[in-house]
Amino acid sequence: MALDRWIALILLGVCLAYGYAAWFTMDAGLAPFMRRAPIWPSTFPKVLSILGVIATLFILLGIEKGGVKEAEIDYRRLGEYRLGQAVLLLALMVAYALCLRPLGFLISTSAFLILGAFILGERKLYVMIPIALIAALSVWYLVHGVLGIYMRPLPGFLGG
């Protein structure tokens, strides 16, 4: 069996376990007033588990393959790929996670988006900076203002 089917089989097991937890164990502790709500806390995990099972079955049954094609990544030619960019992006993700609390959401997210675009090859700062600021402010407003979840926008020394 091909590697993609082995991975799909493992993911199918994970999705089935996740679906079991969502369908049978998450709703047991709900308060009585929440049982009449149209959307429960387990609704999104239920949808995710169903979509995951469908996607993995597509791969296991070979439905997604249109024809025989050669492998996209050849492990014998790893030196020809841009591994430096991938490693830098992974390091940037770790740095983002570590800087999120001390620097605040707006500064760390904007810096992550700008540096990530720079690593991937974008050099127009007049494009990167406004897009990063608009994206960070929009996400912060949606999470903080609309959903009501407090997220520190700025570092503590700046009043965050």
Residue 107: which of 150, 151, 142, 145 has the closest Cα?
A: 151
Confidence (pLDDT) at 73:
66
pLDDT of residue 42: 77
pLDDT at residue number 101 = 86
d(CA 160, CA 156): 5
pTM over 0.85: no
User: For position 132, what pLDDT does the model report?
Assistant: 94
- pLDDT of 38 reads 75
Mean pLDDT per 10-residue interval, the chain, length 160 residues: 82 91 79 75 86 90 67 69 87 93 90 94 91 94 84 72
Spatial distance between the Cα atoms of 34 and 95, rounded to a whole number of angstroms: 39
Whether 128 and 117 have beta carbons less than 8 Å apart is answered as yes
What is the chain's Cα-based Rg? 22
Residue 2 has a pLDDT of 74
pLDDT at site 112 = 95
